[in-house]
Structure 1
């Protein structure tokens, strides 16, 4: 779920190269230093918003987009506050950021769900995407390089804060509805974007933590937002079963994701009413400290603070190894498994991919999810990447993802289900044409710094922390 350090340095270099290509258009004057979401009135919904339909635009503003908060991104960018829905069905507000290239295709857009993997509002993409914002969340900042690939391809790209106003990491239904209502809001904003149709074609995409939002949006769309003109979904490294993911990363280098996930599942907009009384009874002082830290810090800080943490330690909670058998916890985790219910089956084509050697998100869960969807009638292409690990696979799979997006918009995806294995572990810089060669060349450099699998990512967390603290 985390991004490797080399992305931080190399993405800056890549973006400066991209800026040269767009020097004919300068960004608007900035409004000033962006305010944190907790202090920014933009994020506060107006009185009576609960009576509006999901996807209604409550506020909008034009922003100057930035790269790591340091460099202005010379494209047109807007933000919307929109009405969406909490896990219990009540009304909440969400935010999304729209990036519009200079020569956009006007009948479509891509909804890109970044893996911000945090339960603190200072990590919201809508905050970190703004020029002048501190680089609190390096993941969404780094994934801006992938967004640039879609922009150069001519797509308008929207990127929602799908975790909602509480920044609730991992609750699938909340995140899925946040994605779908973001799509509705952008559709409702179509005139100001210059879209040529009231039913624009849409493809949703996300990796790792972003694939939780993507997969659940795909699952819920037929019942929650059937009117949307969805043409396809791209999701990779999907944590389709939170329990299995927890068991894999518990007491590991990546266990810092666990306090953020627990914090997300216990937010008021998610399962707080069910889980918070239990948490108050069983958490130790150390456990409460971990959740408090996760509610105010982003993914990299969480990983640095809590490596080799075990949620089953009685230093954290008093139930020990019996925690997952507690009825309310078991019920909540059961509701967050993709592919269990037949009525939560995507109706638009899905491209799902996963590294066989993924050491953060279990491969077998994603494979079972794809099979379940196929058994229920979905069109799913499932690609296994035989080499590389969690972080490397998002990079190596970019050409496949972009090709699927194009095929989906063109109506040329294959019907039915298929599986294939990719043996490649590097990128062809001309795989998608000369327009994307600069992007792919820089991603090759990122990949070469990662090494086989994700070993180097484990060794680079302290460097990444220094990058953040000195910015």
Structure 2
């Protein structure tokens, strides 16, 4: 979340009510593949031997069956004994409109550079688009549980169409995807017990944002951060998609309703352009600092701080203005206080994107050890 109310870090709420995982309603088997197509060559990662685009079933934010898409990248060469170890990639913010799905829209140079390093090490990469990105419904942005289900079911789907993939897997994600990776680490062992889940890497994962966002209201002045209003609109649109029974519109001005509607279709660059010069306060007709809003947002976004049974790594840039380090330090403190299997390292001089490359030597070793 780029620069999301960094100045409000010290005002985080100390409350920590546990949120139960969403129960899944009956429906098609998660991970079932409904369509397979070759991935166009211009969307391949460097070093790819074969690639496909899948449409598959998963579990949506309300526990009902939903549909997601994603791409499978298999390295060149012959798979090792037991198959290619699998890396489930959870991407960062691209927008929540259908046109933003990476398996059709492509990936940033930053992500391509990062992912090709993993592919070159002999990992098959399966990359979900998440529910609602290119599939029916609105993408429930920052709903960590549905993103985790999409990531796990992407592994199931990929293995059903490519027998060279092993059952052992890890999840790695950046930014929004870092949050998804943490939720996956927490939920995957029970959600997909037939798979051999080894652990996770989260770079720049947003956390503790529910307390920050809940401080917003009409009184927030315009801030010189071009993308901040767009991000808040994404969060509100994602909340409405994840909790359709919660009335988000009651907090919005007419301009706010338009911005949230735009958020449902516009990808990141266009969303930033559409909200240029618009302050967060102009979106809201009342304070978000009330129990119904906070509890709804917390139920979607709050990163679990207990219940992890596999090792996971959190990497944080020390000059990250997208996910400021105080937010992550609080998360790590909460995890360590509960004796969770977390490894944490902060990288001097690294910003939000730079953290990916800065941490790669360490995370490469960490992941290699998970597969031993």
TM range (shorter): 0.7 to 0.9
SS in 1 for 2:353: helix
- 1:65–1:72: 8 Å Cα contact kept in structure 2? no
1:21-46 per-position Cα deviation (integer Å, ceiling 9, x unaligned): xxxxxxxxxxxxxxxxxxxxxxxxxx
- 1:108–1:156: 8 Å Cα contact kept in structure 2? yes
- 1:263–1:294: 8 Å Cα contact kept in structure 2? yes
**CA–CA separation in structure 1 for the residues paired with 2:46 and 2:327:** 40
Structure 1 regions of 5+ residues with no counterpart? 3-49, 130-137, 411-471
Change over 3 Å in CA distance of 1:401–1:305 after alignment to 2: farther
Change over 3 Å in CA distance of 1:331–1:227 after alignment to 2: same
Change over 3 Å in CA distance of 1:310–1:364 after alignment to 2: same
**CA–CA separation in structure 2 for the residues paired with 1:360 and 1:308:** 19
1:171 equivalenced with 2:143 (yes/no): yes
Alignment of 1:46-195 (within 5 A): 51-67=27-43, 75-103=49-77, 104-105=79-80, 106-129=83-106, 139=108, 142-164=110-132, 165=135, 166-191=138-163, 194-195=164-165
SS in 2 for 1:324: coil
1:304-335 per-position Cα deviation (integer Å, ceiling 9, x unaligned): 33346443x1x32211xx2131x331112222
**CA–CA separation in structure 1 for the residues paired with 2:356 and 2:256:** 32
Which one has more relative contact order, counting CA pairs under 8 Å at least 6 apart? 2
1:405 equivalenced with 2:367 (yes/no): yes
- 2:47–2:119: 8 Å Cα contact kept in structure 1? no
Deviation at 1:72, TM superposition (A): 9.3
1:356-377 per-position Cα deviation (integer Å, ceiling 9, x unaligned): 3321113222223233333434
Question: Residue 293 of structure 2: which of 329, 332, 342 is its match?
Answer: 329
1:222-250 per-position Cα deviation (integer Å, ceiling 9, x unaligned): 33223321112000111022225647998
Question: Residue 254 of structure 1: which of 212, 227, 230 is its match?
Answer: 227
Deviation at 1:116, TM superposition (A): 3.2
1:316: which partner in 2?
283
**CA–CA separation in structure 2 for the residues paired with 1:91 and 1:77:** 26
Structural RMSD (CA): 2.7
Deviation at 1:107, TM superposition (A): 4.0
Change over 3 Å in CA distance of 1:63–1:357 after alignment to 2: closer
Length-normalised TM-score, structure 2: 0.82
Looking at CA atoms only, which structure, 1 or 2, has the larger radius of gyration?
1
Structure 2 regions of 5+ residues with no counterpart? 3-25
> How many residue pairs get matched?
335
2:313: which partner in 1?
351
**CA–CA separation in structure 2 for the residues paired with 1:144 and 1:367:** 28
Length-normalised TM-score, structure 1: 0.65
1:302 equivalenced with 2:279 (yes/no): no
